[in-house]
Amino acid sequence: MRAIWEMTASEIASAVRSKSLSAVEVTTAHLRRLDEVNPKINAVVQQFPEEALQAAQAVDDAIVRGETPGALCGVPVTIKVNVDQQGHATTNGLCVFKDQVAKDDSPVVANIRKAGGVIVGRTNTPAFSLRWFTNNALHGQTLNPRNRDITPGGSSGGAASAVAAGICALGHGTDIAGSIRYPAYACGLHGLRPTTGRVPAYNSSAPDRFIGAQLMAVSGPITRSMSDLALSLTAMAAPDARDPWYVRAPLDGGDVPKRAALTIAPDGMPVEDDVRATLMDAADTLRDAGWIVDEVDCPPMRRAAAINACLWMAETQFGAKALIEREAEPESQFVFEQMCKDAGNVDFQSLMETLQTRAALVRDWELFLQTYPILICPVSGELPFAQQLDVSSEDAFARVFEAQLTQRAIPALGLPALSVAMGDVTGRPAGVQLVASRFREDILLAAGLDLENAQGMPKVCTPDWV
């Protein structure tokens, strides 16, 4: 018999709603699991068990009164430390923000609470949420529970590590250059980057962000099942008037032809043989499920990645450069320097031309996705990287940066994308990325479910080191 902390979010919500389990029982089981495994992986860096149990009791009380708590009825959730949760510090992995306590919940946190989710902890991120690895001077390093020698991903590495280890059934993450999709990939999970504007965003603890983050940064779920992604998206995407970019788009966009494009090496990016083989397996699986899959070139990824670099570095250089110097954390300083080299000089003219180019490129992608409602492409050109590879040398950073081409490109287009777990290869998780047109997360989840039905759902793992 499976432990409670091995259950999916959908199973937990159903069990709590039917009173076969109480939300307090579920929360207690996950808090015990947190105490057992978190010292080994350092995924959760802010804990508040009494607050979590009070929230669980409120769910149980609502059920006794005959009320419906919501889609996430009693589901244990973690929140990344870069979004506001009332009464807790929005550190973003920074020593200088260790006392920046939020007075209000961000929209995504408020929506999770309204849906009956129970927040059991807040998860680690690299300083400034700037890397595909998770380490910082304030909270320390997060390890991957499936393999301590490889990255848990970043910047939502704590969220993915917590889900993989059974600390929570749903991990909240954010994504501006792969920070949901890559941690899910590295930890052998599913991760959904929603369309820009699908999930409302706002942090009252800080000034509004500049145009790069407004166009590219999103919140989304990391889970162990496709049904949990759908459930989570329903909860997270509830309206909130505090976000001027929020779009009231339906979650079901209607039927489309079951046709997919397979692009193994977008724009000629280097792709390892094991990654190629996984992509081919995914294409064959979708064909077996009734999809027509054509191997074709997708629209430009490098141009989209260059747009991401310009928008992100314009924001960072203008708004965060002084803060990076003040934090003086060597790893983020090194990464920032390398990313600035890639972006080149970002001035007013280059920013305006980038925004102009973006409009044309989004048009090209939307037209492509009318013909092929799904694109199958790499999450990364390599299997998950060794811990701290990116800061080991400039050459190593360049290797990591190139392998993450698709992670950097998609956010610049505002498109939704899904990282799908596809088992292990030589002791490292493997997976594929699916991309769809704006506000068509439903197509991603349908294709992802076909892959999951053939591959099986990811399972909880227990760190096996002392």
Q: Mind telling me the catalytic residues?
A: 80, 155, 179
- 376 and 418 in contact (C-beta within 8 Å)? no
Give the separation between CA 189 and CA 172, rounded to whole angstroms. Answer: 13
**Angle in degrees, CA 312, 316, 320, rounded to 5:** 155
Strand partners, 261: 294, 375
Phi, psi of 99 (to 5 degrees): -110, 15
CB-based contacts of 150: which residues, under 8 Å, 6+ apart?
Answer: 144, 186, 384, 385, 386, 387, 428
**What ranges in 249-347 are assigned the alpha helix state H?**
273-288, 302-319, 321-327, 330-343
Enter the tokens of residue 224. 């162990």
Strand partners, 190: 223
Of 447, 457, 433, give the one whose Cα is nearest residue 193.
433
Give the separation between CA 105 and CA 441, rounded to whole angstroms. Answer: 25
Q: Which residue bears the tokens 């699991």?
A: 33
Beta-sheet strand order (sheet of 190-193): 44-46, 118-123, 76-80, 170-175, 218-223, 190-193, 417-425, 428-435, 374-377, 259-262, 292-295
On the 0-12 / 13-18 / 19+ scale of CB atoms within 10 A, 425 is middle
| Angle formed by the axes of helices 302-319 and 348-371, nearest 10° | 140
Give the separation between CA 195 and CA 217, rounded to whole angstroms. Answer: 10
Write 280-288 long-range contacts (CB < 8 A, 24+). 281/422, 282/376, 282/420, 282/422, 282/432, 282/451, 283/376, 285/450, 285/451, 285/454, 285/455, 286/260, 286/374, 286/376, 286/447, 286/450, 286/451, 288/454
DSSP state of 96: G
